Every structure is written in C-alpha cells, then in structure tokens.
Structure 1
Amino acid sequence: MSKGWVSHSEEASAPVSEVLTAAPSPFTSALRVNQAELTTRALLSGGTIGALLAITNVHMGLKTGMWETGSIVATLLTFSCMSTLVSRRSNAPTALETHLAQTLAVSVGALPSAAGLLGAIPALALLGVRPSGGWVALWGVGLGTLGVLIAYLLRRRLLEHERLPFPTGIATAELISTLNTPTPTHRGRARALWGTGLGTMLFTWLRDAGGVFPSVWLLPGQWRGIPLEKLLLGVGWNPMMLGIGMMLGVQGGLGLLLGTLVAWGGLAPWLVHEGRVNQVEFRALVAWLTWPGVGLMVGAAISSLVPLVSTLPKVLGDVWWLGRGAVGWEATAAQRVGRAVLPTALLALVAGGLALGMHPLQLLLSLLLVLPLCLVCAHSAGQTDIHPISPMGQLTQVAFGLVSPGQAALNVAAGSVVSGAAAPTGLSLCSLQAGRLLGATPSRQLLVQLLGLVLGAAVSLPAYSLLVTAHGLGTPELPVPTAHQFKTVAEFASKGLDGLPPRALLALGLGFGTGVLLSMATRGRLARLLPSATAMGVGFILPAHYAVTIALGAFLAAGVRRRWPTTSSHVQAVGTGAIMGESLVGLLVAALLALGLISSPG
C-alpha cells in the first residue's frame, strides 16, 4: 500500500539472513529444471491482472492517495489465472512462469504512479494546466523505463555485493515456491479474495447505479453550531475503504482517525466561526486544512530521510560501479542498458518539456537529480522495505523553487520527474530479488517490465479520464490528497509566504514540527503506541467519512486477527477483494455516466 511512502507488511517465513546467505537459494532446489518461463499464458495472465491493478490504483489513488504495489496480490491472482488455463495438453504453472507473470502485473500497476496520474497530473489540473493524454502517456512510459533501467543496473551491486534483503522480494519468492505445492490455506485465500471481489462488485453496482444503498451515512445533529453532515462526519457504505483499512493496519488507521478528528472536528469549525472560509463545504475547508496536513507529511518525510544520509557513500559507490565490475554476458547487457539510460531520460524529459514548456536548463537539473535520488530510494527499499517516493519529489520541488521561483506548474512537473522514476526503481528491484532467489532470467524480467509500462499507459489514461470526467477533481468523490500535497509544496516553493492563506503559515509550521517529532518518536520504544504522522496528514485532506471508514476497517481486521490468529492471510485477501471489486465497478459506472447511458441515483 502506498501514499508515496510504499511499505509492505508481508514477511517471508524464512529469516532474511538465512535466505540471503543460503547457497544455493532455498527456493531453487526444484526450479530451473526444464521449467517454462516466458509463455503465452504468463503474458496473458500478467497483463490481465496488471490491468486490473492499474485501474484499482487509479481509482484508489485519486480517492485516498494510496496505491497497491501488488507483488503479493499479483502473485496469487496470476497463479490462479494460469491454473484455470491448465488443460490436458498443458501442465500446471511453473514457479518461473508465476514470477514472470507477477513481474508484468506489478509493472503495469505501477504506471499510474510513474506517470503522475495520482498526484502531479491532477495537481497541474488544479493549477489550470491540462497536458494532453498523449504527452502524459509518453512521459509516464519514459520515466517508468528510466526507473526500470536504473534498477537493472543496480541489481548486481545491491542484491549480490551489498546483499540488501528487499523483504517484499523474499516474501514473493517464498509465496511462489509454496504455491507450487498448494495447501488448503492457499486455496482458502484464493476463495476469500474472489468471493469478496464478486460480492463487492454486486454491492457497488446496487449502490452506485441502482441507488439501493446510500454512499454514506452522515451523523445527525450539530457540532459547535455546524451540521455534522456539512463536515462529512459519518461512515461510508464503502467496501474499498474498509479493505484499505484492513491492509493499512491499526497504526495507520489510528493516525487517519486522529487527523480527521483534529481537522474536521476541531479546525474546520474554528475556520467557520473565525470567518476564514466563505462557505461550509468541502472544497473551501480543505483549501486551508491542506496546509497543516502537508506540514505533517513533509515533516515526517524529512525526519525519516535523515537516517538515509549514511547511504550517500554507497550511492556514490553505485554511480562509480555503473559500467564496471561485471564480466561476460552480464557486462554486455549492463553496458547496453547503461547506454540506454541517457536517451531514455532525455526522451522522458523532452516529453515533459513539450507538454509543460520546461526550459532546457530545468530539464537538465531534473536529469541530474534523477539518478542520485533513485539510488537513495533503492537503498531505502532494500534496507527497510520503504520507498520514499513523495519525499524525493518534494525535495526536487524545493530545489526548483530556489532556482525558478514563481512557476508553480513547472515546480509540480519537476517534482514528478523524480518521483515518477523512483516508483518503478524500488519495485523492479523487489521483483529482481525474487527472480534471483527463484533462478529467473534477468533479461526476461527486464523485457516484461518494459512491456508492462506500455500496457499500463494504455489502461491507466482512459481510466483516469473517465473518473475525472464523471466526478471532477478535488471533490468529495475524488479528493486527490496527493495532488493537494504537490500543489501546496509548489505554491509554497514558488510564492513563498504570499501564497499562504491567513494563519496557514502557523498551521504549516505546527504540522511540520509535529510530523518531525512523531516520526522521530516512532523509531524508539513508542513506535507501536504512536500514530503515523503521514496518515494523520492524509486525514486532514480526505473527507471525514473516508478516514472513519478506513479506520473502522483497520480496527475490524485487528480484532479478527487477535481473535482468530490463523486467519491473518484471509483477512488480507478479503481486503484486496474489496478494493479491486469496488474499483472495477466504480470505473464501469463512471464510464456509463460519462456516456449518458445511466443517470446518477443521487
């Protein structure tokens, strides 16, 4: 799950140190012996599941700012799909097939983040800039390709020399190896996922197209003289939000709930009574509440980046390694990929320049920042399983604000260059780690990752367009919290204090300080007791009933896990099914509304 900071809760069953020091890999004992790998059914299954994942990420990202990286989910779904294609003439899917299919699916699902569809592009739209879909697609594929190529060049250094664990890669390899000896537990997870998905699809259709269920139950009464329904305080009839909560965990859910109570239960009524908003409605209130919310997120991000300063020598070593140290075929492949990095970067940046009018010097500065910041992201992902995507983009925005003040749209575009390339870098290395443990072919992994980016663009852009046409941006239906974060940082970096609403500077500073303190405290003994500062910041920007429903899902999942510990994997499958089911039907309803084939029941 991600909101710029991508982290994973799945863990490999074997200790990391045991997996990394084993020789040969514990997963390869029965692998690579006449095993199929790059097959038609692997490509079909991976492409299909990846398209579903991309649609889900566009929908979920625009609503909550979070997106699913998909390694574990894609492994389960692609294996299930390929298993259904088994006939008398074909065998069960192999481990290498499953790995290649999930690698393709993850690449497709990551394209919305690489192209900026979850943050930068809607932020530009809020600023009045709407680049054409063709340029956005080219931009996203170019940035994604750049991130994949950088990951391939770092593969040998990070996975073999430094032996960074990349825990999600290990967990993926473990899951793939055990799926080849299916157990009742794995079959139960698959049934839970598909059953929940189908049930959620039916419920969402009845709610959004049939009007059988309300979309939200708002609390009656008033708070400080303001109707609670105006503050959107209530609980949503929303399986997706419950599913997100199940994946997010108690700490994230608690942070969202606390942020919502402070923002919509405390600050929003104060804004109304002080006359700082013209009317009591979501857009007017969130325009001010975004500032302390972003302060929380940026403070937490910067504090969390401080430990990564120690990785800078390794970063410089990685830059020195490019083009050195490899031998034989690997050296040839690395050299070819290395030669492709600069043209790919230039292609992506030129697409951004033509779309947004970036000056050549600005393009050059973006290019200089991409590689070192992607390297920092790669080290973070390998050591902690956290991908600091948004913080990398924000650092770039600050740098551009110093060089080119007064240009908010270009500031957003510059930030998205780095964050767009950083997203696939860490994810690709996780897949390469799983492939290394399973004995997969790196060049084939690289090929399907590049194919996935093209397919992701073909799926994601229409999905984004349909949702925005049907619901608009910055509305309760599509609150686009990540876009507000990009826009806020850009306005501050471009306009300075002149771009802030009254008293927003104080709120920004208090939020920033709180984010720093909470982030520092969560690295100590109080880690499990304190809420997530990043989640609190999101709670300031989301409609209140979204946050309440997500928190409810987190608490329900924690209660089920505590009462029935053996059902933990089933809870995750149920949450995934709920997210995917509502996303697919939500997109279908948006398309039918845009075409005028149905009318909104509300």
Structure 2
Amino acid sequence: MIPSVRELTEPEASTTEVAPVLTRVREHAAPLELTARALGMGLLIGGLLAVTNVYMGLKTGWWESGSVTAAVLGFSALATVSRKRGSAYTPLENNLTQTAAASVGAMPAAAGLLGALPALTLLGTSVPAWGVAVWSVALGVLGVLAAHLLRRRLVAQEALPFPTGIATAELITAMHASTGTEVRAGRGRLLAGAGAAAVVVTAVRDAFKWLPGMTAMPGTLGGVPAASLTWGVGWSPMLLAIGMMTGPRLGLSMLAGAAVAWGVLSPWLASTGLLADPGYESLSAWLTWPGVGLMVGSAMASLLAQARDFLGAARDLGNLRKGETVPAWAFGVGLGACVLAVALGSMLFGLSVPYMLLALVLVLPLCAVCARGAGQVDVSPVTQMGQVTQVIFGGLLPGAVAPNVAAGAVVSGAAAQTGVSMWSLKAGHLLGASPRRLLAAQLVGVLAGSVVGVPVYLLLTRTQGLGSEALPAPFAHQFRAVAEVAVRGLDGLPPQAALAACVAVGVGALLTFASRGRVARWLPLPVALGIGFILPAYYAVTICVGALGLAAARWRWPAAAERNVSTLAAGAIAGESLAGVLFAALMALGFM
C-alpha cells in the first residue's frame, strides 16, 4: 500500500553476524517473555507509532515500522526500574515489546488509512468509522497469520537475512549485554530533546502562527510567482527528519521530480491555457497523473524483475504444514477474520461474496511475495501487490471504481502487516523467542492499532482537509488513479494528462530496470520522483535539505552521525506528529 522509508530507499541486504553474541544472551537471560510490562509498554509505544504513521503517511506517503526505536524506548523505560525491583527486564521481553509496538504501528497502513480509504473519500465513497476499525482488524489478523505460516520456511529453513530483524536483534543484544548507561543517557536524552524541539516548532507554527508553513522563494518561474507554485522551505522538523532518515539519493530524487513538475510543467500549463484555472488544486490534479505514472511504471518493472519471487512464493505455499507453523486456535481466528472481511466487503464497499473470496485467495500468495522481498533485500513490495490486485479486478469488474480500490486494499493491507511481522519474527528467531508468544502479542497489537489509528485519521482529515496542501495524501491519488484507469481507461483525464502519464510510465520502468546495473547510484528513484510531482514543492525542498545536512554531518562527524541520526530523526518525527494531532484535536473542539 504505502511504502515505508525503507521501501523507498531500498537498502541492500545485511550480512551482519549476530549469532555469537545472541547465543550468550540465550544462555544467561531469564525466561520471562510475555509479561504484562513488556506487552503494555509495547502497546504504549505502538500507539505513539500509529499516531506518527497516520500523520506522516497522510502528509508524505511514508510510514515506519519503528522496530529499532521501540526496542530502545522499551529498554530505556523498563530496564532500570525492573532491575531495582529485583526482576530484570530480559532480552526476550524487550523483543516482545518491539514486536507488539511494530504490530500496532503498522495498523494505519493495514487499515488503508494512508491510501485506500482517503482514495475512496476522494471518489465520493464514505465509510463509517466502526466499519474501518473492524475491517482493519480483519486485514491485520490475516497479515500476521500469513507471516507465521511462512515463518518456518523463510526464517528457519532458508534463513533469509531480513536485515531489519537482524539489526533489531543486534541492538537488543548489545543493550542487554552492557549496563545500558550509554543508551539511556545518550539515545534517551537525544530522543526526548529532538521531540521537545519539534513540539515547540510545531506549536509556534500551528498554534501561535508565529511561523509560516513555508518560507516562500522569491521571484517567478515562467512568469508565475514561485510562491504560488509552492516553492520554498517548510518549517517542519518532520520533513527534515525524513530527509535525514532516507538520505541524499531519495531527497535529490524528490527534488528532481518537483523541479520537473512545479518548475517546468506547471509554468507551461499556466502559459498555454490548457487549464481553465491554473491554481494549485488544478495544477496538482494534472500533475498527479504523470506522478502516478512514474510509480506505476516502476511497480510494473519491479514485478517483472521479481518473477522468481512469485515462483518462490508458490514453493513456499507448497511447503506449508499446518501443525508445524501456527497453533490450531489461530486457524479459527483466521477463519473469523475471513468471515468479517467478506461481510464488510459486501456491506461497505460493494464487493460481492465471490469477488471478496477471490481477493482473500490472493492474500496469501501475494503476501508470500512481500515476505520473500522483505527477507532478501529488506523491501516489502506492498504497493505493487495492491496494484496487481487492482488490475485483476479492473478486468473482472469494469466500471466499479470503489470495489476496485477495496480489492487492492485487501491485499496491500494484509501485506503491510506481513512485512513488519516477518522482521519481528526474524529478530525473535535469533533471540530464541517463542513464536506462539510473539503471535499473541502481534494479534493484541492489531486490536490496539485499530482503536488508535481511525480516530487520529478522522481528526486530521476533518480539520486539515484531505487532499489539501496541508494533507496531500499522495498515495491516495495513486490508488484512485490506478482504479480509474483499470476500470475506465484513459477517458476523462485532464487535457494532455494521458500522454504525460504514458510517458511517465515508460520513464519509471526504464529507471527501475537501469537501477539494477552499475549506474544505479547515479539514477533517481522513480517512486521518489513521482512523489515529487504529487506533493507541494516545498516538501521536496525541505526533505532534500535534511538529506544534504545528514550527508554533511557524515562527512564531518561520521561516527556521531551514524550513532545518533536515527534517534534524532525519530524524535523529531514523533514530536511534530504528536503535536500536530493535539492541535488538530483542540481545533476540532473549538479551542483554536
């Protein structure tokens, strides 16, 4: 559905060796694992992640699993207190904390709050809040169970690297092997300081209005004021932090996309008179098509390149053995989730029972593709799987746009939870955790995430306006565009937008194929290019500033930057997100 920061940067698989240290932890750690304190802390941290992911996802299209951050926060909060009370906080408890937190944090993506649901809203289809919450539980449960069905083959037998899982296990091992003083004093203070600074900046910007959302660029582009084309630098700690987390390649790719869209095409559209009203909304509606074209072209090329993953997924499904993968009661839970999904698909989205069953049949094999991608290169191709489903249903249900979006949401929602679950299962496997206890924690996390995400989504969309400059929801446009093209063809697009979209599809595919060669490091990321088309230009500028600032810090202070950048960025993102949601609540209550 919506790519995480990891999905867009596409890091190579890690080969970090952790077994010797992890063996030592397993020999001496206490057997505590599924405890009230570990689960409760995981749900609390996961709730913060869910709020952050809704806010960040609707603004930029990105979200994070937060496994590493949750491990650090859990250790910082519980290690000292537990030791003073005579019951040490164990590595297995810490792993369960981050597992539950990641499960809660993934629920906004699993529920479709970042793509499918806003796409339906933009198409004029409203879905009640209770329906979204229950729907998200069904999809989240299916995603978690798919991960556990695949765990034995991918994690235990093939031992795929799952780099995020390895990194999480490494961090937990390192923290518990030492006194943890440096972690608490260093990372804890840095996280809190960055969060507090982000809250202050957000308050000054949104509550007191002493800062603008953007410092506009002076001058004109093609006779059009640069400020009206959204050129400038945003006062946003979150955007700077995203640039720090993703790095220069993604930041420059986004800036290149914005330069073409808002620096070349927008002035051209304004000067030629193709659009009756060349304001921001009209320009954004036109630019959405080439932006989505870039992302769809990249997705198509990725699917072709991942043909072997589909074959591997087929072998994975052929090797499933019921009794050795999940407990018997989990199959009852899965059956209940399927019944809920079928009922809600018909009631809320107009998907008849046979078509909803077809969507559910596609869940496990396409989740297997995502799981294998997460294991091999740390990239879970959630968006591509959703688009495959949309194309299939476009042929089966011509003219039915809302059911098309809903069908894509079934697969991509479950796949989002599968990818996150696989990273947690890899960390648990290395640490010697119980898969059944991790399954219980993840299912509880699914329930908690459905309760947290939906109210935050409704609050933000009602106060800031879905699809506005403040809340662009870029991947909602992708869901809507793919659905419209799949069921209606290219009719009804704005003038020349169809041609621009077709050219962009070709460019996105070529860049994706070329990025697998030696020149990859010099080529822009097509998905980031597409997002640069869809978001206001100052988003790309601000993210690029953060990315280049990180590059400068790594050149000047390499060790400190490597050690602290993820903590600093996580604090800034969480601070602005939580403050933004708080101010939205005050606005909704009439206090602002």
**Superposition TM-score tier, normalisation by shorter sequence:** over 0.9
Q: 2:303 aligns with which of 302, 305, 322?
A: 305
- Alignment correspondent of 2:283: 285
Q: Give the secondary structure class of the aligned counterpart of 1:497.
A: coil
Q: For residues 441-480 of structure 1, give each alpha carbon's deviation from its aligned partner in whole angstroms, at most 9, with x where no partner exists.
A: 1111001101111111111111011101111111000001
- 1:4-23 to 2 correspondences below 5 Å: 6-7=6-7, 15-16=15-16, 18-19=17-18
- Alignment correspondent of 1:369: 362
- Alignment correspondent of 1:576: 570
Contact (CA 8 Å) 2:11, 2:377: kept in 1 or not?
Answer: no
Distance 1:109 1:509 in 2: 35
Distance 2:268 2:448 in 1: 47
Q: Give the secondary structure class of the aligned counterpart of 2:24.
A: coil
Contact (CA 8 Å) 1:12, 1:171: kept in 2 or not?
Answer: no
Q: Give the secondary structure class of the aligned counterpart of 1:217.
A: strand
Q: 2:580 aligns with which of 569, 586, 597?
A: 586
Q: 1:513 aligns with which of 506, 528, 531?
A: 506
Q: 2:403 aligns with which of 392, 410, 417?
A: 410
- 1:424-573 to 2 correspondences below 5 Å: 424-567=417-560, 568-573=562-567
Distance 2:59 2:428 in 1: 33
Q: 2:112 aligns with which of 96, 111, 116?
A: 116
Structure 1 residue 91 displacement after superposition: 3.7
Compared CA separation, residues 73 and 284, structure 1 to 2 (3 A)? same
Contact (CA 8 Å) 1:8, 1:385: kept in 2 or not?
Answer: no
Distance 2:9 2:174 in 1: 19
Distance 1:550 1:70 in 2: 20
Distance 1:412 1:450 in 2: 25
Structure 1 residue 394 displacement after superposition: 0.7
Structure 1 residue 128 displacement after superposition: 0.5
Instruction: Report the AA paired with residue 406 of structure 1.
Output: G
Distance 2:340 2:293 in 1: 34
- Alignment correspondent of 2:190: 192
Contact (CA 8 Å) 2:175, 2:183: kept in 1 or not?
Answer: no
- 1:255-266 to 2 correspondences below 5 Å: 255-266=253-264
Q: For residues 353-388 of structure 1, give each alpha carbon's deviation from its aligned partner in whole angstroms, at most 9, with x where no partner exists.
A: 211121122212211211111111111111111010
Compared CA separation, residues 487 and 5, structure 1 to 2 (3 A)? farther
Structure 1 residue 291 displacement after superposition: 0.7
Q: Give the secondary structure class of the aligned counterpart of 1:165.
A: coil
Contact (CA 8 Å) 2:216, 2:233: kept in 1 or not?
Answer: yes
Q: For residues 281-308 of structure 1, give each alpha carbon's deviation from its aligned partner in whole angstroms, at most 9, with x where no partner exists.
A: 3221111101110111111112122232
Structure 1 residue 278 displacement after superposition: 2.6
Q: 1:149 aligns with which of 145, 160, 172?
A: 145
Instruction: Report the AA paired with residue 587 of structure 2.
Output: L
- 1:57-68 to 2 correspondences below 5 Å: 57-68=53-64
Distance 2:86 2:542 in 1: 45
Q: For residues 555-595 of structure 1, give each alpha carbon's deviation from its aligned partner in whole angstroms, at most 9, with x where no partner exists.
A: 10111011111021212211111100000000000000111
Tell which deviates more after alignment, 499-508 or 571-580.
499-508
Q: For residues 403-456 of structure 1, give each alpha carbon's deviation from its aligned partner in whole angstroms, at most 9, with x where no partner exists.
A: 111111111111111000001111111111100110111111001101111111
Structure 1 residue 220 displacement after superposition: 1.8
What is the aligned residue count? Answer: 588
Instruction: Report the AA paired with residue 291 of structure 1.
Output: W
Compared CA separation, residues 9 and 44, structure 1 to 2 (3 A)? farther
- Alignment correspondent of 1:276: 274
Tell which deviates more after alignment, 70-79 or 259-268.
70-79
Q: 2:24 aligns with which of 26, 29, 51?
A: 29
CA RMSD of aligned residues (A): 2.1
Tell which deviates more after alignment, 100-109 or 559-568.
559-568
Q: 1:101 aligns with which of 70, 78, 97?
A: 97
- Alignment correspondent of 2:36: 40
- 1:196-211 to 2 correspondences below 5 Å: 196-211=194-209
Structure 1 residue 87 displacement after superposition: 6.3
Contact (CA 8 Å) 1:95, 1:177: kept in 2 or not?
Answer: yes
Distance 2:208 2:262 in 1: 31
- Alignment correspondent of 2:45: 49
Contact (CA 8 Å) 2:4, 2:65: kept in 1 or not?
Answer: no
Compared CA separation, residues 207 and 146, structure 1 to 2 (3 A)? same
Structure 1 residue 4 displacement after superposition: 5.8
Unaligned runs of 5+ residues in structure 2 are: none
Instruction: Report the AA paired with residue 539 of structure 2.
Output: Y
Tell which deviates more after alignment, 389-398 or 32-41.
32-41
Compared CA separation, residues 302 and 383, structure 1 to 2 (3 A)? same
Compared CA separation, residues 354 and 274, structure 1 to 2 (3 A)? same
Tell which deviates more after alignment, 459-468 or 183-192.
183-192
Contact (CA 8 Å) 2:34, 2:96: kept in 1 or not?
Answer: yes
Contact (CA 8 Å) 2:13, 2:377: kept in 1 or not?
Answer: no
Distance 1:499 1:179 in 2: 57
Contact (CA 8 Å) 1:257, 1:548: kept in 2 or not?
Answer: yes
Q: For residues 319-368 of structure 1, give each alpha carbon's deviation from its aligned partner in whole angstroms, at most 9, with x where no partner exists.
A: 222236x6xxx46x444434543442232232222111211222122112
Q: Give the secondary structure class of the aligned counterpart of 2:483.
A: helix
Structure 1 residue 545 displacement after superposition: 0.6
Structure 1 residue 173 displacement after superposition: 0.3
Extract structure 1 runs of 4+ deviating beyond 6 A: 8-14
Compared CA separation, residues 59 and 484, structure 1 to 2 (3 A)? same
- Alignment correspondent of 2:345: 352
Structure 1 residue 499 displacement after superposition: 3.2
Contact (CA 8 Å) 1:303, 1:516: kept in 2 or not?
Answer: yes
Structure 1 residue 12 displacement after superposition: 12
Contact (CA 8 Å) 1:4, 1:388: kept in 2 or not?
Answer: no
Distance 1:471 1:426 in 2: 30
Distance 1:464 1:521 in 2: 38
- Alignment correspondent of 1:237: 235
Q: Give the secondary structure class of the aligned counterpart of 1:536.
A: helix
The answer as to 2:160 corresponding to 1:164 is yes
Q: Give the secondary structure class of the aligned counterpart of 2:215.
A: strand
Compared CA separation, residues 9 and 266, structure 1 to 2 (3 A)? closer
Distance 2:13 2:313 in 1: 30
Tell which deviates more after alignment, 239-248 or 345-354.
345-354
The answer as to 2:3 corresponding to 1:3 is yes
Structure 1 residue 8 displacement after superposition: 8.7
Compared CA separation, residues 407 and 380, structure 1 to 2 (3 A)? same
Compared CA separation, residues 183 and 517, structure 1 to 2 (3 A)? farther
- Alignment correspondent of 1:315: 313
Contact (CA 8 Å) 2:250, 2:524: kept in 1 or not?
Answer: yes
Distance 2:87 2:267 in 1: 63
Contact (CA 8 Å) 2:25, 2:91: kept in 1 or not?
Answer: no
Distance 2:515 2:114 in 1: 27
Distance 2:370 2:346 in 1: 25
Contact (CA 8 Å) 1:492, 1:499: kept in 2 or not?
Answer: no
TM-score (ref. length: structure 1): 0.94
Q: For residues 212-251 of structure 1, give each alpha carbon's deviation from its aligned partner in whole angstroms, at most 9, with x where no partner exists.
A: 2222101122111111111010000110100011111111
Instruction: Report the AA paired with residue 247 of structure 1.
Output: M
Distance 1:185 1:45 in 2: 18
Contact (CA 8 Å) 1:236, 1:545: kept in 2 or not?
Answer: yes
Q: Give the secondary structure class of the aligned counterpart of 1:235.
A: strand
Q: Give the secondary structure class of the aligned counterpart of 1:443.
A: helix
Contact (CA 8 Å) 2:194, 2:572: kept in 1 or not?
Answer: yes
Instruction: Report the AA paired with residue 274 of structure 1.
Output: T
Distance 1:573 1:13 in 2: 22
Instruction: Report the AA paired with residue 229 of structure 2.
Output: L
TM-score (ref. length: structure 2): 0.95
